[in-house]
Amino acid sequence: MEAPVTAQLMDGNAVAAKIRAQVAAGVEARAAAGKMRPGLAAVLVGEDPASQVYVRNKRKACGQAGIESFGYELPKTATQAEVETLVAQLNADPKVHGILVQLPLPDGLNEERVLNTVSLEKDVDGFHPVNIGRLSMKGREPLFIPCTPAGCMVLLEEAGAQFKGANAVVLGRSNIVGLPAAMLLLHRDCTLTVCHSRTKDLPAVCRSADILIAAVGRAEMVKRDWVKPGAYVVDVGINRVEDKSKKSGYRLVGDVAFDEVKEVAGAITPVPGGVGPMTIAMLLKNTLRGAELADART
């Protein structure tokens, strides 16, 4: 067995702080030039506690970067038409440069139709099918790249990962993380494998990875012997596991068994403090971009 190594920690808090400071400086430069502050509208339907926390954190981060944020809360009984009407109003509102519809939507609402309603120019989550379509095609540019996968790429870049010709494995193929992460790696000339619940011999496929992005939502699924020595491991997962020593009764872990994998990986993200803070930082960056796109239209 190879001697244990200690992986380089890809510190999402530190990298995100840097990006947030850059965004704040960009926002202040706009204000100094007499331009409108960027504005983010956050739409929350229903009372899912995790979604409430996510929206609260995103709005707080907006405030810290000098970005205006507008909260819209609809009851879980809201109809499809009510949600779409709200989104249409936000599309037309010049103070709003980014629209965030917090997912998942309550049962009974058609997520695809709601996301289709978001104006391309305000799609700061990058979930509009045209943005995802452009991301998936060679030589096309999406207006916005989904925040979580974009954050994964920044962490890999900052850690010095070499993309060209690297074997990249993405665990998970969701529209919001796995699929766009895979497209971003492909654009950087990685040789790509995308795994999912039907993949055979997952450990062997993962072991081929120079770059591994795990986004499955299964606590500590990726074990030490799934990881190639020296690989870059990005853990997107956020999973609650019971922990009686905590006041809340649980703690958060990723999809990667951090303590054992850090002894073989070359670089690894912690959970929490890895991808999570990057997601918010990239949302702020996209909102600033939304304001710049609006300038260019006027």
Task: Tell whether residue 172 is a contact of ligand NAP (CB under 6 A).
Answer: yes
CB 188 within 8 A of CB 238: no
Q: Which is nearer to ligand NAP, 87 or 194 (CB)?
A: 194
Binding status of residue 10 toward ligand NAP by CB under 6 A: no
Cβ atoms < 10 Å from Cβ of 29: 10
217 binds ligand NAP (CB under 6 A): yes
CB atoms within 10 A of CB 15: 21
Contacts of 89 (CB under 8 A, 6+ apart): none
The interface mask with ligand NAP, positions 93-132, x = CB under 6 A, is ----------------------------------------
Closest CB 224 distance from ligand NAP, rounded Å: 17
169/288 with CB nearer ligand NAP = 169
Residues 137-156 binding ligand NAP (CB under 6 A) are 148
Q: Is 167 in the site for ligand NAP (CB under 6 A)?
A: no
- Distance between CA atoms of 217 and 204, rounded to whole angstroms? 20
**89 catalytically annotated:** no
Question: For this structure, is 76 an active site residue?
Answer: no
> Can 125 be counted among the known catalytic residues?
yes
For residue 67, what are the contacts with CB-CB under 8 A and spacing of at least 6?
A: 23, 27, 37, 38, 39, 40, 284, 287, 288
- Residue of 18, 35, 52, 58 with catalytic role: 58
Strand 8-9 to 267-268 pairing: parallel
Catalytic site residue from 123, 125, 210, 235: 125
Mode of pairing for the β-strands spanning 232-235 and 211-214: parallel
User: What does R_g of the chain's alpha carbons equal in angstroms?
Assistant: 19
Among 197, 245, 248, 298, binds ligand NAP (CB under 6 A): 197
# of chain residues touching ligand NAP (CB under 6 A): 25
Peptide bond into 104 cis (omega under 30): yes
Is the CB of residue 10 less than 8 Å from the CB of residue 254?
no
**H or E element, residue 53:** helix 49-64
Of 171 and 288, which has the nearer Cβ to ligand NAP?
Answer: 171
The interface region with ligand NAP, picked from 84-92, 125-133, 181-189, 230-238 by CB under 6 A, is 230-238
- Least separation in angstroms between CB 55 and ligand NAP: 13
Which residues are known to be catalytic? 58, 102, 125
Residues forming contacts to ligand NAP in the complex (CB under 6 A) are: 148, 171-174, 176-178, 195-199, 202, 215-218, 236-239, 275-276, 279
